[in-house]
Structure 1
Amino acid sequence: MSGLVVVGVDGSPSSLAAVDVAVREARSRSAGLRVVHGFTWPALHPPVGPSPLGPAHSALREQVEHMVMEAVQRARTRAPDVDVTHAVIVGEALAVLEGQSHDAALLVVGDTGHGRFAGVLVGSVAMHLAGRAHCPVMVVRGRPGPAGPVLMGVDGSPGSRAAAAFACTEAALRGAELVAVHVWGTRGDRSELMPGLPAEEEHAARLRAEGEQVLTEVLRGLSVPQTGMRVGRRLVRGPVRQSLVEESEGAQLLVVGARGHGGFTGLLLGSVSQAVLHQAHCPVGVVRATRAGE
């Protein structure tokens, strides 16, 4: 496996944690690592004409370059065998990282930051990249269980099928168990039926059977390597947000599609995405189904 892993940095502890994860991902994939910072000049108004001290913004640029090189050195120290490059690109972080995703196999970001990323990585930046990036996005957060499984949230949509393929790859790279999770009973369940009536039980049984079929089809479509990988399945009844957050405890990674249907309606565009990215107990991988992927 090869490709390029891109990590967005801003000097915050969260972005440094993202560097640690990104370098491990690059090493396991036999891929290169690119450390990227999206840099925007502040609205300064220096005096007209040359200055003996140089451009007014030179010190800021040097500070940014130093910050990026510290991240590069951190990566090289942790994985001397990984080819690490870097880029400081003038532009908003959103546009810069989206542009970098064109050539990447994986884009990694932290869940919080400062500077140009201040307080938005779990909001506008992560949400934007999740819906627009041209490669899978990994948001580093929580405390992953080093011996835990890789979870994939599935609902049968093209987005969840693309997420399942990525989750399968991650589980193989990590030597971890792969567990498919489907949450059911969140739409129409008990909404029009009185508790205890036979019709309600029949309705619930149908929803459960549909969920079982979704899991069966997704797992059947995976090319699980013949390496003894353990594959499990969980059918969970309950609200999607709470259920996914609870299931993520002790996991190495939770992978979801950028958009879906059924239980994941509006995923990464509304409340479900906010809950997963803000509250999951482990890093979250988001995979957007492209036309080719679909």
Structure 2
Amino acid sequence: MPIKTILVALALEDDSKRVADRAIQLANQHKAQLVGTHVIENLPLLDPGLPPSIDTAVLAGMIEDQSTLRLQSLLGSAEKPAIIRVEAGKPHDIIASLAASHHADLIVIGPGVAKGLREKVFGSTADRVVGCAPCPVLVVRKDAGAPYSRIAVGVDFSTHAQTAALWASRLSPMASREFLHAFEVPLVFEQTMLKAGTSQAEIDRYRDAKARTARQQIISMFGAKGRLPKGARARVVHGDAASMLINASRRRTTDLVAVGTQGANVMARHLLGSVARKVLTGAGCDVLVAPATVDANR
């Protein structure tokens, strides 16, 4: 399915040009309509301490006008003129609502920074957008010099991992892909095996067998006739999945990491899966997140 509409949410802070440039690059690449939004929040318009001479309605209008002009400036180089929306409210709710009303295929945002204890526990705006988004979310960390060319895809053999891989391919069809899977054999289990008389060589063979099985599963899931597509490869490591993906994101050969999230229940909408959240926090490149609620065939 083509990418027809891209919603880019800009905080109008230091990283806004980077985020806007990537959204423009993708919109131009896919001939998509760009919708740019800025969400105004926490204005003290009802503060009784404001000087009585201030007309709060006029003040709010001026802030909206300034935000509109800034959005138009940042998104002015899109081939199709961007639709501009300035709203007031909670950013993640407004962004999700606009994405739904404009039938957005992709949301583009910056990583944001957790402000205060509440956001450190429940996540920044970026975390919350991913938790309630009706479509994949691209979190931009790097300057947009060119289309994505090297994508690392986190694989745990679930349907949401398949969805993340599919959307990564849609985003940049010509990019090479590395399918990454991490498995762990608990240390206490290995120690118990040693105590029970299992040799280290046998444990190593057990690990190697698990790695071979995982590699075959990757080929079965993403390949055909026993082979992965041209430009794709599989890598299986023993260790932590989040650390593996973060390390991959910091290689010069990777410019996008794609991950899925699990669960569509109330708690999952507030707290991202641990792997996705760690990757969003620690990645050294852009991150594409496909929420569990996203339909792979939309």
TM-score normalised per structure 2: 0.78
Report the Cα distance in structure 2 between the residues aligned to 1:186 and 1:104, rounded to whole angstroms.
41
**Residues 285 and 46 (structure 1 numbering): CA distance in 2 closer, same or farther, change over 3 Å?**
closer
SS at match of 1:76: coil
The alpha-carbon deviation at position 231 of structure 1 amounts to: 1.9
| Superposed counterparts of 1:44-193, under 5 Å | 44-45=45-46, 55-77=55-77, 79=78, 81-102=79-100, 103-112=103-112, 123-142=123-142, 148-172=149-173, 175-185=174-184, 190=190, 192-193=192-193
Paired residue type of 1:136: P
**Residues 271 and 6 (structure 1 numbering): CA distance in 2 closer, same or farther, change over 3 Å?**
same
My pick for the range that moved more, 244-253 or 157-166, is: 244-253
Whether the aligned pair in 1 keeps the contact of 2:20 and 2:75 (CA below 8 Å) is: yes
Report the Cα distance in structure 2 between the residues aligned to 1:191 and 1:20, rounded to whole angstroms.
51
Where does the alignment leave 5 or more consecutive residues of structure 1 unmatched? Answer: 222-227, 261-267
**Residues 214 and 3 (structure 1 numbering): CA distance in 2 closer, same or farther, change over 3 Å?**
same
Report the Cα distance in structure 2 between the residues aligned to 1:30 and 1:153, rounded to whole angstroms.
28
Matched, 1:32 2:30: no
Where does the alignment leave 5 or more consecutive residues of structure 2 unmatched? Answer: 264-270
The alpha-carbon deviation at position 36 of structure 1 amounts to: 0.9
**Residues 112 and 207 (structure 1 numbering): CA distance in 2 closer, same or farther, change over 3 Å?**
same
**Residues 271 and 142 (structure 1 numbering): CA distance in 2 closer, same or farther, change over 3 Å?**
farther
The alpha-carbon deviation at position 186 of structure 1 amounts to: 5.7
Q: CA offsets, 1:63-94, max 9 Å, x none?
A: 243134222222223x3x22301111222101
The alpha-carbon deviation at position 60 of structure 1 amounts to: 4.0
Q: CA offsets, 1:184-206, max 9 Å, x none?
A: 23657736433843542343133
Report the Cα distance in structure 2 between the residues aligned to 1:143 and 1:149, rounded to whole angstroms.
15
Matched, 1:208 2:211: yes
Count the aligned residue pairs. 271
Report the Cα distance in structure 1 between the residues aligned to 2:212 and 2:42, rounded to whole angstroms.
56
Report the Cα distance in structure 1 between the residues aligned to 2:206 and 2:98, rounded to whole angstroms.
47
The alpha-carbon deviation at position 23 of structure 1 amounts to: 1.0
The alpha-carbon deviation at position 138 of structure 1 amounts to: 0.6
Counterpart of 1:264?
none
Counterpart of 2:239?
238
Q: CA offsets, 1:33-87, max 9 Å, x none?
A: 111122235343378xxx8x6732432442243134222222223x3x2230111
Counterpart of 1:283?
286
Paired residue type of 2:171: E
Whether the aligned pair in 2 keeps the contact of 1:142 and 1:280 (CA below 8 Å) is: no
Q: Percent identity?
A: 23
